[in-house]
Structure 1
């Protein structure tokens, strides 16, 4: 999936002039990717060693202002390696042990299916706890900005049923980091955002980072962009303080560059006491298989290029309206940070490939070409056709409410019983279509209708339209069926004969 077509050069083979050429080529690639993705704004940084050696910003934010190196973005799941670093700080301080049960700090966490081996802190970090992806999705994006939101959210997982025994397999879930946020609050005795600023963001120089709704307002977090039938539309989402541990951290390009530089320095043993070199290496090292050569470490993804000396450590993330990715190549002392102010699920691979491709170019290789997934376009077409068809049937049914059909197409009078059966079948079909739109299709995608509306508003609104038309049609079909059955019964009654003597017999001629 990543950069399998690279031919990396050694550091000594890249002269300053050649480096300028590679940087210009990377700029052109990133700019082209921005256009292909339809993102209104983008920030892009290159870090070599301790320094940001190159930074470019293009486009405008959700308020129409030019994107700069200080423009705040939401970073999505890039919050996870930040949270993981905060946990590792507590591990090295002796307050937390990686292989101790989570319930030692959160005694209320008693998931079903733990068995003899309880969920450990390490398993939360490397996403092998057995908490399902859906456990995280159904609890994400609560936009809870009241005090105690991090703990409130985590406590909803107290008795959840695990999808697999702890440690058995990798399953990516926001739920793991919801619990880690609550664990850090318990250990430090401070709100998560306050603790994060003191122990991680402050020491790293991430002065513009946002950890609560007040900070988002002070920093002027602009709206991001979602896509509506292929066109970016500004979306002013609320901040979610309860979601900072897993995805609602805010940070500028300067902040994320400082974070990426600290990862490179930490792996070399020069992180200024923030964490030991062994601690950084343990975070970066993938220990749980995701697929092929892709492994998950403690808050980071660990991949390999074809050349085994060109190892890549990375993580990406998204919220409604924002996307970000950090790519580290520790052995080459290189990092690339890309932040977009737009996101759509079908564009995720394309957005991620912006950073993968730029890193590959800077290593002297060629980027892979990745297109956006076409499934959303087809889904929109199918749902649109279904919605139009339902709307047409709703119109016809409205006409039949006024004029019920009492005869079949052959001119024969219909039987009331058959009309009743047909009506019940039609109502059942309509309600089934509404249920599929509201529940079954989102469930098959691993999300809820609420999440579809947040991340794919065009699909979400079509699903709502199909469901609403299905329910409306069911109501109309009930009315049509009742009126038709009553009309058939009236039409089938015998006409009473006139009483004798009241009508004169015809006169013979």
Structure 2
């Protein structure tokens, strides 16, 4: 869980549409978006979704698909509530920056200045917590977490899950997604503001923006227009548990509608929440000492897709995956909320990719052209090795040393994480590069519309894969 087979006969795909006239010169390909989103929901077995596109500040497309619950559930509406998961982190990061602007904290100070009893408090800074570069271990790791996370828990018990553990790496040296950092940032907000985290967000963000009463997973059972979370278990769609607000908290406990996120997104960028300088800090990638750019700022991923700059975040919980993605070059924001919690792949992010491809097919076609000088033998070795990672077994397409490590237990995680993607439908060669004495070959593997992974390999003297990376 990250606070990050067709369903025949179940997915009714009831459609609710708000007709919106676009003031833009380019027509909105609404029919194509409808068709492709509907096909994706069937492909992933998603009960319901809500999708919105804003261009140059104007909403140009809003549509609700499918059901809030199955079987026979009421249809999703554009104003249906969804868990937004880790999109919550934007709110936490903005609150920290508000407090910095007020002179109550500094993001480059040690955590110990604000929470002296926190794990490794003297070793990590607030900036490292904000950018997932602290090295603090993930508190949501561990067996049975999906069931545990539905139960009440106190903060001391949560933090005790990681307190005895060493740092995973020296702070600032690498990037590794860690909800622990945002759990601690929530406590920093409380320590320096004198308010609970929830009260701070209500008083300093929700009230000033006119968003009304803040809703979290705690209120979920009492919201009449709330989507019900689902996930697949052994291929069957089942209701998922509700992640406890104590567990998710500043890392992912908000429940919102499309319209709420539209107000939030516009306000954050326009200076209504934090200053322009603070927003630049949120959207500036952290540079790690070992691996260069983390492609992550404060509560926001900062990278590219289809060769276009993209700033945003996904959200995943027990029964929901969501995505809120801004493309600055096109001044377009695409938001997709779904009530399916499967994370391999995440339906929310796939939908935003699909919608962007429908809006800008020429850009996507150009980005998907292969680089010249492809070696088809290397491509075949790479795709065969990737299938080994998905299926396990004897890892015959890997060199002896790496294959033995994967076969002796290291490969189990890849089977779990990559298997649900299914076999790649295409492998696009993106070029070769030299790293010291090693030559690497970069690919984008495709798994149907909107779903792709970066995959790089290097080959040993035997022609088999001796190293790989997945991004």
Could you say which residue in structure 2 is the equivalent of 1:477?
none
Distance 2:93 2:53 in 1: 23
Q: CA deviation at 1:331?
A: 3.4
Distance 1:443 1:183 in 2: 38
Bigger Rg, structure 1 or 2: 1
1:163 counterpart = 2:161: no
Alignment counterpart, residue 246 of structure 1, candidates 237, 247, 251: 251
> Alignment RMSD, CA only?
3.5
Distance 2:100 2:278 in 1: 9
Aligned pairs (5 A) from 1:409-424:
none
1:101 counterpart = 2:101: no
- Classify 1:347/1:132 alpha carbon distance in 2 versus 1 (closer, same or farther; 3 Å): same
Could you say which residue in structure 1 is the equivalent of 2:44?
37
Could you say which residue in structure 2 is the equivalent of 1:302?
302
Distance 2:84 2:167 in 1: 28
Aligned pairs (5 A) from 1:296-445:
296-305=296-305, 310-348=308-346, 351-365=348-362, 445=413
Could you say which residue in structure 2 is the equivalent of 1:388?
none
Could you say which residue in structure 2 is the equivalent of 1:68?
77
Distance 2:64 2:213 in 1: 17
Residue segments in structure 1 that go unaligned for 5+ positions in a row: 1-14, 382-439, 447-451, 457-509
Q: CA deviation at 1:52?
A: 2.5
The 3-state SS of whatever aligns with 1:445 is helix
8 Å CA contact retained: 1:226, 1:234: yes
The 3-state SS of whatever aligns with 1:193 is helix
Distance 2:257 2:24 in 1: 30
- Classify 1:129/1:351 alpha carbon distance in 2 versus 1 (closer, same or farther; 3 Å): same
Higher strand share: 2
Aligned pairs (5 A) from 1:89-238:
89-111=98-120, 118-133=123-138, 135-138=139-142, 142-143=149-150, 145=152, 149-150=154-155, 153-154=158-159, 156-207=161-212, 209-211=214-216, 213=218, 215-220=219-224, 221-237=226-242
Kindly provide the CA deviation profile for residues 5-61 of structure 1, in whole angstroms up to 9, marking residues without a partner as x: xxxxxxxxxx96873343432333222211211101010011123332321001111
Q: CA deviation at 1:150?
A: 4.5
What TM-score comes out, normalization by structure 1 length? 0.62
The 3-state SS of whatever aligns with 1:325 is strand
Higher helix share: 1
8 Å CA contact retained: 2:337, 2:348: no
Alignment counterpart, residue 58 of structure 1, candidates 56, 59, 65: 65
Distance 2:160 2:170 in 1: 20
Distance 1:339 1:48 in 2: 18
- Classify 1:57/1:293 alpha carbon distance in 2 versus 1 (closer, same or farther; 3 Å): farther
How many aligned positions are there? Answer: 357
Distance 2:100 2:88 in 1: 18
Could you say which residue in structure 1 is the equivalent of 2:400?
none
The 3-state SS of whatever aligns with 2:74 is coil
Q: CA deviation at 1:258?
A: 2.3
Alignment counterpart, residue 86 of structure 1, candidates 95, 99, 114: 95
Distance 2:294 2:355 in 1: 20
Q: CA deviation at 1:158?
A: 4.0
- Classify 1:299/1:240 alpha carbon distance in 2 versus 1 (closer, same or farther; 3 Å): same
Residue segments in structure 2 that go unaligned for 5+ positions in a row: 1-21, 369-385, 394-407, 421-471
Q: CA deviation at 1:137?
A: 2.2
Q: CA deviation at 1:65?
A: 1.4
What TM-score comes out, normalization by structure 2 length? 0.67
- Classify 1:352/1:166 alpha carbon distance in 2 versus 1 (closer, same or farther; 3 Å): same
8 Å CA contact retained: 2:76, 2:227: no
- Classify 1:444/1:121 alpha carbon distance in 2 versus 1 (closer, same or farther; 3 Å): farther
8 Å CA contact retained: 1:323, 1:342: yes
The 3-state SS of whatever aligns with 1:83 is helix
Q: CA deviation at 1:229?
A: 2.8
8 Å CA contact retained: 2:325, 2:333: yes
- Which stretch of the first structure deviates more once superposed, 21-30 or 90-99? 21-30
Kindly provide the CA deviation profile for residues 255-293 of structure 1, in whole angstroms up to 9, marking residues without a partner as x: 222223334xx2xxx333x11112112101212469897
8 Å CA contact retained: 1:356, 1:367: no
Distance 2:348 2:412 in 1: 24
Q: CA deviation at 1:321?
A: 1.1
